[in-house]
Amino acid sequence: MPLNPESPLAKLMATLPRAGKVEWIGLRPARDEVMVATEAVEAVTGGGLVGDRYKGGSGKRGITLIQAEHLPVIAALAQRTDLQAALLRRNVVVSGIPLIALKERRFRIGTAVFEGTEECDPCSRMEDALGPGGYNAMRSHGGLCARIVEGGTFRIGDAVEAL
């Protein structure tokens, strides 16, 4: 049952006093290829990111985002001393804003507008990427999937703002 929008809890959940920031952007040109870091990217309405293998028919998974603040937690749980963002197979690393608060909400990055659709649960490939226990290390830390509502470009350093 959805919350009453006038309830104190609903109001708290809708309050995001600060913008986040794009820390890293990565694209996967084809299946099973490593992520390629980039400074800027174009998001296509109803599709994905130009240069990413999911561009075109991804619908609710046009872009995947992960919380920068969760990277040390994932590293600790996977018993890794280092953790490169590219290993996690997400397109964008964001800091300073709780991504879960953007689920079922619209948000802007650069000139593009997105809508958070669902949590981005880890896949079984995390075992290969992070080692034994990698899948479980990412549970509840996998980030957010979003669809692209209005195409545009964004780059590292751009604000992530709830609309």
For 97-130, the pLDDT digits (tens) are 999 999 999 999 999 999 999 999 988 888 888 9
Contact 44, 50 (CB under 8 A): yes
What is residue 26's predicted lDDT score, i.e. its pLDDT?
97
For 49-94, the pLDDT digits (tens) are 999 987 655 566 789 999 999 999 999 999 999 899 999 999 999 9
What is residue 16's predicted lDDT score, i.e. its pLDDT?
79
For 34-54, the pLDDT digits (tens) are 899 999 999 999 889 999 987
Q: For the chain, state the CA radius of gyration.
A: 15
Q: Which two tokens stand for residue 102?
A: 């953007």
Taking phi over 0 as left and psi of -120 to 50 as alpha, with beta for the rest, 143 belongs to left
When mean pLDDT is compared across 6-15, 62-71, 87-96, 138-147, the lowest value belongs to 6-15
Contact 92, 63 (CB under 8 A): yes
CATH of 20-162, one of 2.60.40.10, 1.10.3720.10, 2.40.33.20, 3.30.70.250: 2.40.33.20
Among the listed residues 112, 115, 95, 85, the one whose alpha carbon sits nearest the alpha carbon of residue 21: 95
Which helix (H) or strand (E) is 93 found in, with range? strand 92-95
Q: Where are the domains of the chain?
A: 20-162
Which helix (H) or strand (E) is 130 found in, with range? helix 125-130
- Tokens 């953790």 locate to 83
Which helix (H) or strand (E) is 21 found in, with range? strand 20-27
